[in-house]
Amino acid sequence: MLYFGTVEDRNDPQEIGRVRVRVFGLHSSDKINDIPTSSLPWAPVMNPTTTPGNSGLGQTPFLVPGSWVVLSFLDAYCYGFCAWSTICKT
């Protein structure tokens, strides 16, 4: 199943291009009383097959806070997920 969300943080401490995403319908927009941005899990970003993404080779995803993304969960608990692509917003 695909979900949609908005990127809130891209300052990945491991510097491997992950982002924190607030998922529409799963995480509320209340960053104070619900889930603060710092508690959102880090999500890897899918790269095209034209980049190896291995041994320091490849492209770094260029997502910025506010970018809308399509993502899917990697586990049954809806915690770990992967961002697939961006959605143009107006």
**DSSP class per residue in 15-75:** -SS-EEEEETTTS-S-TTTT--GGGSPEE-B---TTS--BTTBSPPP---TT-EEEEEESS
Structure-block tokens of residue 5: 């969300």
Report pLDDT for 45.
86
Q: In this predicted model, which residue has the larger pLDDT, 76 or 8?
A: 8
Q: What is the pLDDT of residues 14-54, one digit of tens each?
A: 988 899 999 998 888 888 778 899 999 898 888 776 776 67
